[in-house]
Structure formats: structure tokens, C-alpha cells
């Protein structure tokens, strides 16, 4: 593929801060007619936007991780002018280039995903007024609920001899399916239908149930105790969703599930073993800046280990909610101001502090779940994206938590507190970025380590260049001054080179910490794979391929997900 210099002035979005923030709206922009589209083209644009764009740019296109895509700046004035008040409005030709080639801010190139015709459709579609999906009520949720296997008809004990703790719940993104892979034998145990593009899989506190949530808002409850994994219930949360988690505190194991939606902006509470809908709470309201926002999407959700609480992060408002689930009928919520555009995050090594990326604010917010207060707002490089992050002990700075960045070529290490007396000497570094590990480019989505490993793995799947998107870099935690080892995942897979990139994404450790599994995410019509590495030697142990292994992305090891090990 021809190399693209996305930092060149011709394609850079950095020069458009005000326009991309959606801060200008002139009469000429309002009066200009959007590009003409047929009903068929609008249907195509709507489908592609939902599948590929809404997650970063929002259903209403107001932006968050991605830029604002409202027509006030995407289309030219009716007189054809491209600027107003010194601010650039893009128009079809320029939008086509940006969509095709990507940007330095973490947007991938779509010239190997979409056809030229589809790129043109999208360039015109986002110059039209956004479609507003319908609301979704508790009754809508109840009507969608399907209890397929009642609790009293399920096994009383595990029926198979599979080591359930080392199962990998693997998203097959574009097929709307989940592959459950036996981590011991590397064989696919079962493939089940789920929602479209499952964002995460979460485990019940007991490890019996797998919960998936698709970007289409469908939650699927899978029981691992059957001889073959079986879907026992489903429910719709809305039209777009990203997060679920269970009740983990002692006495509430497997009792509740909470799910957050991007549209409508709200979170829902369900019974943990049936998905019976119980409650919906809206997240619409004021931002930390005191402005009303109509689409404050629910991003990451985690379950506290020290209280019967969920940590619910509301993206656009910058509000972090600590929701006490001990009394569902009378919810008690602590609202913590942090920074806007909250996204994903994870626990520190003590599981007292939750660290979440406020990615378009270029900060990480740390919440003390014991006191119910904000512990710190840490400045980072551009667009931090930690996944769950990675915890390890730094020889100079003590316990640290790591995050990579979509928009900068570093992995940042943030010092976190420890109550151990021998760690008192590290207190001076707490909540500071103590070191930045250099990467060859931006576009990182996940960093990962394990308590039994001395390696830190970092991917770059959102980088537009093949030599970056198809590899991982591995840092030696015993000596971070050493350059990282480059792991060419695409080459190691043995698969033939195709025009479309195969993005090496989402590293996940095995239960015992000896293996690292990496998805090689190809096109829907190209062969994909999961490449398994020996974490000690960094050598390939197994390449898992199968005709049904289509567009694998996230993989969630049952034990590590249950215990929040990362």
C-alpha cells in the first residue's frame, strides 16, 4: 500500500480546532443545501455511519473521541466558500480524502475498508442533518426481553470438563457472533449469535455467566455450565451500547447487571441471571462546564470490589457516577466532576482507585472509590486510550498504571498510591506521569501485562501505516531503558498479504500469565487469525485460524476478567 503522510498539511485536522469543536454556525452555512442523495444512498450512509463512525463521533455527530461532524462545518456555504471567519469548512472532496486516508488523531484509513463509492456516500452523508433515533423506554426494554432458559431449567453444576477459567470470549466483530475458545487446547468450543460488533464480554462474579453487549444494544447472557455454552437470555438496551458489568460485592454475586447505552443516553439495571429489566436512569444533563448536552453517552462501567457500587462514566458530561445498588428502588448516586469525554479505564493494582481516560481532554481521571471523591486529574499526551490499562511495579517509581494514546506516540506511566509501608517512599510521585515509553507512532488502543509477567505489550491498530498497524511492541519491565521488541503479528500468522490491513489488536493473557493472545483483524472477506505467543520467549506457540474466525477483535479471558487482572 502506498504510504500516507497523515501529518502533512493537506490532510491534517490539527488546524481545525474550532471547526471540529462545532463552535461556529453561520447563516450561510445554515442556508446552504446539503449534497443531494438518493434514498438508497442515505440508507447506505446511515448503516456505515452506525457501524463505523458513531462510536467516536456520536449519534448526533457532536463529537467526543472523534471530531464534531455536524453540517455546520462539514458542508460549504451556498456560495461555495470554504472559509468563514478564518475557519475551514470541508466539503465533499476534502472529506473524501480524510475518510480514505485517516488522520494523525487516531482515525484509521478507510480506503481498504470502504469502496470509493461508499467513501463518496459518506462524505455527502455527513453534510446532511443527522438522523435522530427513537427513544427507548423501560416498556421497550421489557418487550425485547427473551428468557430462553429459565433458571430452574439450567444445570446445577458444570456439565463439561472444560477449564472454564481459561476460556477466551472472542468477538467476531462483523458477523455478530462470539467464539468461546478453550485456552488449554486452542480449539473453538462454541460460536454463538450475539449483538453486532460485541464491544466487551464481562463475567459474573461466580465465573458461570458470560455477558456480551453489542453495538446494536443487544445484551446476551451465556451459561457456561451446559455441556456446550448456551444462550439463556437476551434483552435490548437501546439502539447503540458499549458497556455492561455485574454486581461483584459479597452478597450480591450474580444478582444484578448494569448496562450503559450510547443511544439513548442512559443506563439500565437488570436481574443478573435472567436479564429481566428493572430500571432505566437517564444521563442527560449538564457538563462539567455547565452546559446542557443532549447526548451524554455511557462509556465504561466497572463494579467495585469494596462496596456494592458501580462506577459509571458519562462521556460528554465528564461526570463519574458511583451508583449504590444495595437498594435498586432507591438508588443513591454520588456524582463526581472530572473532565469531558470519558471513555475507558481500569483499576489500579489495589482496586481502590479507578482510572479513566477523558480522552479528548487529554487527561486521565482517578477516582477514590473508598472516599467517593476525585483523587486526581492527570494531564497526558493526546487522546489517551488505555483499554483497562496495565499495572506493574516500577523499580524507581513504585506501583504504576499505564495507558497508550490514539493521538501520540508514547505509553504514559502514572504513579498510583500504595498503603504498604515499604512503598511510602514512592508517595511523592503519586498521580504524576513518571515516564513515557516511546512508540514508533500513534494509534495505540491497548496495553497489557500480567502479575506473573515481566513484559508490557502495546498495539497500534489505529495507525494508518501497515508496518505499525500489524505489529505489537513489547517492553521489558525489568529494564525500561531497553528499546521494545517489535513483534510482527501479521508475518508470524503465516497468512498471505492482502490489500486490506490485518490489524493486530487487543492483547490478552492466559489465566496463568504464560501466553499472550493477539487478534489479527482482517477484512470481512479476508482470512483472520488469533496468534498466541509464549510470553517468556516472545515466540509463536499457535496460530488459530478457521473459516468461521471472521474479524476477531476483543478477547476476554474468563479468570482475568472476573478478577480484573491487567
Give percent above pLDDT 90 in the chain. 77
Better-scored residue on pLDDT, 378 or 80: 378
Total domains present in the chain: 1
- The answer to whether residue 343 is catalytic is yes
- The answer to whether residue 57 is catalytic is yes
The pLDDT value given to residue 48: 87
Of 91-100, 354-363, 395-404, 422-431, which gets the smallest average pLDDT? 91-100
Grid cell listed for 113: 475498508
Kindly tell me if the per-residue pLDDT of 22 is higher than 60: no
Q: Flag whether 297 is in a domain.
A: no
Of 41-55, 383-397, 470-484, which gets the smallest average pLDDT? 41-55
The pLDDT value given to residue 32: 63
**CATH number, residue 101:** 1.10.760.10
Better-scored residue on pLDDT, 51 or 194: 194
Q: Flag whether 28 is in a domain.
A: yes
Q: Check 107, 141, 270, 460 and give the catalytic one.
A: 107
Q: Flag whether 103 is in a domain.
A: yes
Q: Flag whether 102 is in a domain.
A: yes
Q: Flag whether 346 is in a domain.
A: no
Q: Check 122, 270, 319, 343 and give the catalytic one.
A: 343
DSSP codes, 229-290: -EEEEEEE--SEEEEEEE--STT-TTTEEEEEEEETTEEEEEETTT--EEEEEE--EE-TTS
Grid cell listed for 498: 492482502
Cα dihedral 311→133→74→344 (10° resolution): 20
- The answer to whether residue 122 is catalytic is no
Task: State phi, psi for 268 to the nearest 5 degrees.
Answer: -130, 145
Per the structure, the complete domain to which residue 105 belongs is given by 17-125
What global pTM score does this model have?
0.86
Q: Check 56, 270, 549, 562 and give the catalytic one.
A: 56
The pLDDT value given to residue 20: 30
Q: Check 293, 385, 405, 455 and give the catalytic one.
A: 385
Task: Over range 201-207, report the average pLDDT.
Answer: 96
Q: Flag whether 95 is in a domain.
A: yes
Q: How far apart are CA 83 and CA 80, in angstroms?
A: 9
- The answer to whether residue 305 is catalytic is no
Amino acid at each position: 500500500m502506498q504510504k500516507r503522510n497523515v501529518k502533512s498539511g493537506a490532510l491534517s485536522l490539527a488546524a481545525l480546532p474550532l471547526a471540529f469543536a462545532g463552535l461556529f454556525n453561520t447563516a450561510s452555512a445554515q442556508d446552504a443545501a446539503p449534497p443531494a442523495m438518493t434514498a438508497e444512498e442515505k440508507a447506505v450512509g446511515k448503516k456505515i455511519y452506525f457501524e463505523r463512525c458513531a462510536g467516536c463521533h456520536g449519534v448526533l455527530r457532536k463529537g467526543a473521541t472523534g471530531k464534531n461532524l455536524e453540517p455546520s462545518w462539514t458542508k460549504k456555504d451556498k456560495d461555495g466558500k470554504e472559509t468563514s471567519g478564518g475557519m475551514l469548512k470541508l466539503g465533499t472532496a476534502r472529506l473524501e480524502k480524510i475518510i480514505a486516508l485517516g488522520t494523525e488523531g487516531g482515525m484509521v484509513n478507510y480506503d481498504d475498508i470502504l469502496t470509493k463509492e461508499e467513501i463518496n456516500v459518506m462524505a455527502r452523508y455527513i453534510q446532511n442533518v443527522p438522523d435522530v433515533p427513537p427513544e427507548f423506554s423501560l416498556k421497550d426494554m421489557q418487550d425485547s426481553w427473551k428468557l430462553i432458559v429459565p433458571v430452574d431449567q439450567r444445570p446445577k453444576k458444570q456439565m463439561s470438563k472444560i477449564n472454564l477459567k481459561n476460556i477466551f470470549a472472542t468477538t467476531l466483530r462483523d458477523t455478530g457472533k462470539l467464539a468461546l475458545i478453550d485456552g488449554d487446547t486452542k480449539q473453538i468450543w462454541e460460536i454463538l449469535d450475539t449483538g453486532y460488533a460485541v464491544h466487551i464480554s464481562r463475567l459474573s462474579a461466580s465465573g458461570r455467566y458470560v455477558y456480551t453487549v453489542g453495538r446494536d444494544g443487544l445484551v446476551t447472557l451465556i451459561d457456561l455450565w451446559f455441556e456446550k455454552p448456551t444462550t439463556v437470555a437476551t434483552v435490548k438496551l437501546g439502539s447503540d451500547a458499549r458497556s455492561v458489568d455485574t454486581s461483584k460485592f459479597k452478597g450480591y454475586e450474580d444478582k444484578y447487571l448494569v448496562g450503559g447505552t450510547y443511544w439513548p443516553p442512559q443506563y439500565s439495571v437488570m436481574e443478573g441471571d435472567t436479564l429481566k429489566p428493572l430500571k432505566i436512569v437517564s444521563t442527560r444533563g449538564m457538563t462539567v462546564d455547565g452546559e446542557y448536552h443532549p447526548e451524554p453517552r455511557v462509556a465504561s462501567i466497572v463494579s467495585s470490589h469494596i462496596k456494592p457500587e458501580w462506577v459509571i462514566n458519562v462521556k460528554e458530561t465528564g461526570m463519574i457516577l458511583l451508583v449504590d445498588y444495595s437498594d435498586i428502588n432507591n438508588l443513591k448516586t454520588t456524582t463526581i466532576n472530572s473532565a469531558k469525554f470519558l471513555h475507558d479505564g481500569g483499576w489500579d493494582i489495589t482496586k481502590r482507585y479507578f482510572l479513566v481516560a477523558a480522552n479528548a481532554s487529554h487527561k486521565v481521571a482517578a477516582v477514590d472509590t473508598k472516599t467517593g471523591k476525585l483523587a486526581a486529574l492527570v494531564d497526558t499526551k493526546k487522546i489517551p486510550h488505555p483499554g483497562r490499562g496495565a499495572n506493574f511495579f516500577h523499580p524507581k517509581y513504585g506501583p504504576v498504571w499505564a495507558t497508550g494514546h490514539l493521538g501520540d506516540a508514547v505509553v504514559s506511566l502514572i504513579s498510583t498510591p500504595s498503603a504498604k509501608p515499604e512503598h511510602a517512599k514512592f508517595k511523592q510521585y503519586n498521580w504524576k506521569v513518571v515516564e513515557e515509553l516511546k512508540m514508533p507512532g500513534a494509534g495505540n488502543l491497548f496495553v497489557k501485562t500480567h502479575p506473573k509477567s515481566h513484559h508490557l505489550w502495546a498495539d497500534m491498530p489505529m495507525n494508518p501505516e501497515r508496518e505499525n498497524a500489524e505489529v505489537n511492541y513489547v517492553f521489558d519491565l525489568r529494564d525500561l531503558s531497553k528499546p521494545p521488541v517489535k513483534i510482527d503479528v501479521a508475518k508470524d500468522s503465516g497468512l498471505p498479504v492482502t490489500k486490506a490491513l490485518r490489524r493486530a489488536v487487543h492483547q490478552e493473557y492466559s489465566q496463568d500469565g504464560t501466553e499472550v493472545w493477539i487478534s489479527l483483524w482482517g477484512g470481512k472477506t479476508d482470512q483472520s487469525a488469533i496468534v498466541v505467543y509464549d510470553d517468556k520467549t516472545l515466540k509463536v506457540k499457535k496460530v488459530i485460524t478457521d473459516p468461521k474466525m471472521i474479524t476477531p477483535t476483543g478477547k476476554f479471558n474468563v479468570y482475568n476478567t472476573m478478577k480484573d487482572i491487567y
